Structure 1
């Protein structure tokens, strides 16, 4: 199969290109070098020739501290209008399927009594999540008009080799043996390892039942302290967790203006992906420990 992968130079994209080629697919990788900045005027046509499926990873990613002058407009231009422009050109070029990588942030930031499912009503909290949810709706309308098959996948936090951001920072802290006051945290968070995510994307590129909206996750949901213990084990280091009341951690977050960041560490965000597994016959090929070991092995 001839597949166009956008965002091919990124954390997920580079691993996905490698996985698809390993399976025998002909892959066209599109990054900034090939198309420049992503937006409604981006010309994808030279890369779309002969492509049967497009896997759209390129986007303006969520960041902890937004510095753009108008973040809502920037997310809209790249994640919404840029995605719709790609879909229009893909349909015109004769592509059969678009796999749109959205985000669990389209659903929201926290779960309480029930996990998110593929039928949960989206309620995004921030500009990034709103842009992903709007893109899903715009793409659904466009694909209904043109006949382009649409697959939407909303992953939770993805971890693995070459990951950046908060997870990389946390692993570095654990590697250095710095104590963390998180032993009393009792949350649950769904994650997905990079190998597992690439595996399900490769399946969604061709499975006849894939058109639709899907959630994905690893086989285990972990509390924050359990994630730290698993990281420490993968690194061959002792976990250094101190008992500190979560209520005081939340207070410290409010006093320092970091309530959102603290909330992500203390809160739960769980995904129920049983519908995905039943429809696609998919199970994650890698365990959490295998994924963390691969992440820890990166120099």
Structure 2
């Protein structure tokens, strides 16, 4: 089994690479930036490749884990680069299947769902994305599933909810709160009363690897399925850092278009034997201690 991994230098990709290597799997990473971990690496810009055939001949991979996408915080929701990633991903998957690939796993997002429903059931909640990012991901799912079906190659689509952990963008919620409680930035308002589905990145990648190694097809939520109030994230982080949460809680606000509830059902992934291993408190503590694996 040889895994072709894209996005290996990204937040989730760095953890995925280590998880694959811990299982003794051979990995070939492809992208513009060489991962810090030792791995066979093919340098390439996936958005500029018109023929993926030679790359597949070079990689000789049996399994594909595709994580690469445009993910600059605050910009990816509306970026036209989403459209380029739809095409690049479809071409990549088609070439992989044509080269006798055996299993495809692609990272999706909870943004594909209609968030007005709050609780996102895998096989019944409507897919009605409100952003270009979510729409592009949903379109990509439909295309790669069709391509894989034509080639009779199993394809698993992992809809990732709210991953967090050491190494994520400093502008995301949890790193920003950490900076506040360390006195490194001013307090800011959060939607404290809302419920969200947070999952530590190590549990996210274990879900992706489980999909990769079990030969399954279909869409799977990768989430905790445990509703957590954003206020609890604030108070837990403050407690771990010996800080006062009130300056943040006092500024509590509700952003436009933000749902009061965003939780995923994870029964399909659990049926494969996967379970989250970290509670929110444990995950936040790992994040603070800078653990990368």
Q: TM-score, normalised by structure 2?
A: 0.85
Separation in structure 2 between the aligned mates of residue 66 and residue 87 of structure 1, nearest angstrom: 22
Q: 1:272 aligns with which of 261, 265, 270?
A: 265
Matched residue count: 277
Is 2:112 the partner of 1:102?
no
3-state DSSP of counterpart to 1:158: strand
Is 2:184 the partner of 1:205?
no
Which structure 2 residues correspond to residues 205-284 of structure 1 after superposition, within 5 A? 205-208=212-215, 210-218=216-224, 220-241=226-247, 249-250=253-254, 259=256, 263=258, 267-278=260-271, 280-284=272-276
Separation in structure 2 between the aligned mates of residue 62 and residue 222 of structure 1, nearest angstrom: 25
Separation in structure 2 between the aligned mates of residue 25 and residue 98 of structure 1, nearest angstrom: 15
3-state DSSP of counterpart to 2:70: coil
Please state which structure has a larger fraction of its residues in strand: 2
**Is the 1:219–1:284 Cα contact (8 Å) retained in structure 2?**
no
**Is the 1:100–1:151 Cα contact (8 Å) retained in structure 2?**
yes
**Is the 1:56–1:101 Cα contact (8 Å) retained in structure 2?**
yes
Is 2:44 the partner of 1:35?
yes
What residue number does 1:191 align with? 198
**Two-structure CA RMSD over aligned residues (Å):** 2.6
Could you say if the C-alpha distance between residues 44 and 199 of structure 1 is closer, same or farther in structure 2, counting changes exceeding 3 Å? farther
Q: CA deviation at 1:52?
A: 1.4
Q: CA deviation at 1:297?
A: 1.5
Q: 1:86 aligns with which of 88, 92, 95?
A: 92
Separation in structure 2 between the aligned mates of residue 290 and residue 44 of structure 1, nearest angstrom: 44
For residues 28-79 of structure 1, what are the alpha-carbon distances to aligned partners after superposition, in whole Å with 9 as ceiling and x for unaligned? 11121411242562636435633111000001226424698xx34x21111x
**Is the 2:56–2:95 Cα contact (8 Å) retained in structure 1?**
no
Which structure 2 residues correspond to residues 94-133 of structure 1 after superposition, within 5 A? 94-108=100-114, 110-112=115-117, 114-119=118-123, 120-133=125-138
Q: Compare 158-167 and 210-219 and name the one that shifted more.
A: 210-219
Please state which structure has a larger fraction of its residues in helix: 1
Q: TM-score, normalised by structure 1?
A: 0.83
Separation in structure 2 between the aligned mates of residue 219 and residue 288 of structure 1, nearest angstrom: 12
What residue number does 2:66 align with? 56
Q: CA deviation at 1:242?
A: 6.1
Is 2:176 the partner of 1:169?
yes
Could you say if the C-alpha distance between residues 40 and 116 of structure 1 is closer, same or farther in structure 2, counting changes exceeding 3 Å? farther
Q: CA deviation at 1:287?
A: 2.0
